[in-house]
Amino acid sequence: MIELLTIGFVAGVVCGISPCILPVLPVILVAGASATSGARPGTALTTTSGGATSHRALETEAVDGPEMNRWRRQARPVWVVAGLVVSFSVVVLAGSEIISALGLPQEFLRDAGIILLVVVGVSFLFPPLSVLLERPFARVSARQPNGDAGAFVVGLALGLVFVPCAGPILSAITVAGAKHEVGWTAVFLTAAFGLGVAVPLLVVAVAGSQLAQRASALRRHASRVRQVSGVIVLIMALTIGLNSFSSLQKDLPGYTTVGQTGGQVRRQLAAVEGENEGRKPGVADLAKCSSTATSLINCGPAPNFTGITAWLNTPGGQALSLAQLRGKVVLVDFWTYSCINCQRTLPHVEAWYRDYAQDGFVIVGVHTPEFNFEHVVSNVRSQSAALGVKYPVAVDDDYKTWDAYDNEYWPADYLIDAQGDVRHVSFGEGGYSDTESLIRQLLVAAHPGIVLPSATDVPNRTPAGELSPETYVGYDQAQYLLNSNVTEGAPAVYQFPSSLPVGGLALAGTWDEGAEEATAGPNAQMELGFVAEDVYLVMGGSGSVQVSINGESTKTIDVAGVPKLYTLFEATSTTTAQLTLTVSPGVQAYDFTFG
């Protein structure tokens, strides 16, 4: 857990110095500066007009003293950042669930943050509004407004518009599974990430505050400074609303992209999620197995296959049990057929089965679905065959075996020895040579004197370096969709934004946005800014898709039959580009992934 929280904190610091912070940076700076440029306690964000100090301000200073008042002014930047971290964390953990429950569009919270920024900007210009803005918070603390509450309100607004920066960490916290449960690990990870973000933001806010305190000219013209600050806040609210920072963010070097992908966070989260309250009985020992271990560890008895909907590639579709497989070395591989990470792992898994099956090695692929179409057994059967899967497949439509292992990821491998104990776990791609070495060790231990074939030699296609995060199209997880006011569950006409940042997704023409997918209507198009060598999209329905890269048409894809993964773009090196899809009516788009 300590390692996980450390990773979350570092990821937050990286996010706080990335181009993502640009839209809120000027507001934090002027909020810190204006909160100290002549303002006295006893007012909201401002207490003087034309250089005259209010009677209430003088009374408060007389009671508290100049030193206490100076400390309060210096502390206001902290309240700005505190408000940002609080609203940011709440929305990351529960924002999607809240707005879905209320039937609101996904852009509602961001739009609310922009509106609140406008109100704050106006309050800089009109002090009476500032007092009104603080009053609800003052009642909670049974005090008169003193400036801290106003600074906290600024932070709350900034947190709402800063949420898109949480996209990569959000994918780690929510775990891309069908249940979207938020446990204590996610809460602690979010807190660590928020604290990490706060560090560079506090530096900026305090810098603005110190600048204001040291500049006598600012103190002499405090009223004018606050008015200018109000204008800046209003301009930034408009700029954020129009996504005008997108092109600048796109042009800046992506030096923090790898740090924000959350890959290591996701692996660590999967490894420790069950350590907290609520871990299922019978799987506690699995927490002893680290996915980074390169040697065998005894993690306790392996849970049996539970609640399986159907068995594929077994004689007569008969069920298997771990009791039947006692004496054999077993690899339980959690996967789903439309997952590119699973598909890149399959050549290694299939090679192990081909080379070691005759030596007492068994693989059971537990197919636990992510999308609704993956619950259809005939889809799983046809795509398993198309992908060359010959080992037994357990269709885990109800997540019973997934839950028995307390699993969190696709792909995930659990290596079981001949006595039925889990000896190694692996989450995600990579580490194939280590896993194969452990398979060989267990086979030799189970059958002393056995002569094994040479180790397999399958190329490792695990991506390295900068890579766009997984990007969902349906409204349930569309955190990178730039269109505002998405209409859920009904056809609507959309327009592309004026600019498209790297990592952004946008729709144009008619689309019917569902929870998991968007179905194309007349004149349907889609734009995506990406960093990758390869781009994939899960599609269903029937029709054609014309693919263009940076405005140049490259291929046309025919979509038909079972929903599955299609390759849109392939390159020999990492490419930053804009992909445009022209989609015929009836085609369904689910999820972009990258390699």
Same domain, 506 and 545: yes
Residues 497-544: pLDDT tens digits? Answer: 999 999 999 999 999 999 999 999 999 999 999 999 999 999 999 999
Same domain, 347 and 236: no
Same domain, 340 and 437: yes
Please indicate, yes or no, if residue 298 is contained in any of the structural domains.
yes
Please indicate, yes or no, if residue 464 is contained in any of the structural domains.
no
Q: Are 330 and 362 in contact (CB under 8 A)?
A: yes
CA distance 481 to 506: 6
Angle at 558 between CA 571 and CA 389, to 5 degrees: 70
Closest CA to 331 of 307, 308, 306, 348: 348
Of 223-232, 305-314, 424-433, the range with the lowest mean pLDDT is 223-232
Residue 252 pLDDT more than 50? no
Q: What CATH number has the domain bearing residue 441?
A: 3.40.30.10
242-247 own/partner pairs: CB under 8 Å, 24+ apart: 242/498, 243/482, 243/497, 243/498, 243/499, 243/501, 244/499, 245/22, 245/23, 246/497, 246/499, 246/500, 246/501, 246/504, 247/499, 247/501
Residues near 512 by beta carbon (within 8 Å), at least 6 away in sequence: 489, 490, 491, 492, 518, 519, 521
Please indicate, yes or no, if residue 512 is contained in any of the structural domains.
yes
pTM over 0.85: no
Between 261 and 76, the more confident residue is 76
For the segment 23-34, the average pLDDT, to the nearest whole number, is 60
Note down the domain range covering 382. Answer: 279-446
Residues near 514 by beta carbon (within 8 Å), at least 6 away in sequence: 474, 475, 488, 489
Residue 61 pLDDT more than 50? no
Same domain, 434 and 480: no
Same domain, 53 and 108: yes
Domain boundary (263, 297, 312) is at 263
The secondary structure of 371-398 as a DSSP string is SGGGG-HHHHHHHHHHTT--S-EEE-TT
Q: Which of 74-83, 256-265, 421-430 has the highest average model confidence (pLDDT)?
A: 421-430
Same domain, 51 and 164: yes
Residues 186-240: pLDDT tens digits? Answer: 677 777 877 877 787 777 777 666 655 555 454 555 567 667 766 776 776 676 6
Burial class (CB in 10 A: 0-12, 13-18, 19+), 470: buried
Among all chains, which residue has been given the structure tokens 């992510």?
A: 370
Same domain, 222 and 160: yes
* pLDDT confidence of residue 176: 33
**Number of independent structural domains in the chain:** 3
Residues 102-157: pLDDT tens digits? Answer: 555 545 655 666 776 677 677 667 767 666 655 654 444 444 344 556 677 777 77
Residue 371 pLDDT more than 80? yes
Q: Are 183 and 273 in contact (CB under 8 A)?
A: yes
Same domain, 10 and 93: yes
CA distance 194 to 82: 9
Q: Are 109 and 87 in contact (CB under 8 A)?
A: no
Residues 160-178: pLDDT tens digits? Answer: 666 555 544 444 444 333 3
CA distance 538 to 566: 6
For the segment 371-382, the average pLDDT, to the nearest whole number, is 92
pLDDT band at 484 (very low <50, low <70, confident <90, very high): confident
Residue 293 pLDDT more than 70? yes
Please indicate, yes or no, if residue 217 is contained in any of the structural domains.
yes
Please indicate, yes or no, if residue 272 is contained in any of the structural domains.
no
Please indicate, yes or no, if residue 268 is contained in any of the structural domains.
no
Closest CA to 286 of 294, 277, 273, 278: 273
Residue type, 516: E
Three-class DSSP category at 197: helix
Q: What CATH number has the domain bearing residue 479?
A: 2.60.120.260
CA distance 480 to 487: 16
* pLDDT confidence of residue 126: 73
Between 116 and 60, the more confident residue is 116
* pLDDT confidence of residue 67: 52
* pLDDT confidence of residue 81: 78
Same domain, 479 and 342: no
Please indicate, yes or no, if residue 466 is contained in any of the structural domains.
no
Please indicate, yes or no, if residue 270 is contained in any of the structural domains.
no
Same domain, 439 and 550: no
Same domain, 255 and 332: no
CA distance 577 to 595: 14
Residue 250 pLDDT more than 70? no
Same domain, 315 and 367: yes
* pLDDT confidence of residue 140: 41
